[in-house]
Amino acid sequence: MKNQEFKIAEQKTKQAGLKATIPRMRILQLLENSQQRHWSAEDVYKALLDSGDDEGLALATIYRVLTQFEGAGLVTRLHFEGGTSVFELNQGAHHDHLICIKCGKIEEFFDEAIEKRQQAIAKKKNFDITDHCLHIYGVCALCKKL
């Protein structure tokens, strides 16, 4: 955890209206510095346990922090099939998900036409969209070869 990175995380957390506590910093940095984009609470818990010199955090704290991050807009909570919550860092724009049912890989995509159609459907029904999610399940190119 380099000093510079810590400063950035501290800044972001405070901007979000949250105190810059150690657990929040560690979770935010994990999400930002890992190439992994999608995390269950358990994933975060284990990653922090394994991550070297520091101690782990309580699982309850991880849930609390991720929920606060969600409220602050730093993170999005997704519900894939299987029931458990998956969290992803909010960076850049909205997108949807392709999930491989063999290897578990999650790919992100964005399609302007689909977004527009959704808005048109909502408009026709006089429905105010607050959120939406499109999850496409199937077998990815790599798994098809196996």
Partner DNA sequence: GTATATGCAAAACTTTTGCATCCTT
Partner DNA sequence: AAGGATGCAAAAGTTTTGCATATAC
Site for DNA in 20-59 (CB under 7 A): 20-24, 40-42, 55, 57-59
Asked if 144 is part of the footprint of a copy of itself (rule: CB under 8 A), the reply reads yes
**Strand, coil or helix: 55:** coil
Site for a copy of itself in 70-99 (CB under 8 A): 79-83, 85, 98
For residues 72 and 16, the answer to whether their CB atoms sit within 8 Å is yes
* 45/72 Cα distance (integer angstroms): 21
**Segment lying near a copy of itself (by CB under 8 A), choices 3-11, 39-47, 51-59, 119-127:** 119-127
For residues 88 and 96, the answer to whether their CB atoms sit within 8 Å is no
CA 12 to each of CA 6, 31, 49: distance values in angstroms, whole numbers, following the listed order:
10, 13, 23
Question: C-beta of 63: minimal distance to a copy of itself in Å?
Answer: 13
Phi/psi of residue 54, nearest 5 degrees: -65, 160
Using CA of residue 100, residue 86, residue 23, residue 55, what is the dihedral sign?
Answer: negative
Asked if 103 is part of the footprint of a copy of itself (rule: CB under 8 A), the reply reads no
Question: C-beta of 136: minimal distance to a copy of itself in Å?
Answer: 4
Asked if 63 is part of the footprint of DNA (rule: CB under 7 A), the reply reads yes
CA proximity to 31, closest of 14, 9, 53: 9
User: Which residues contact DNA by CB under 7 A?
Assistant: 10, 14, 18-24, 40-42, 55, 57-61, 63-65, 67, 83-85
- The binding site for a copy of itself (CB under 8 A) comprises 79-83, 85, 98, 100-101, 107, 109, 111, 113-114, 117-118, 121-122, 125-141, 144
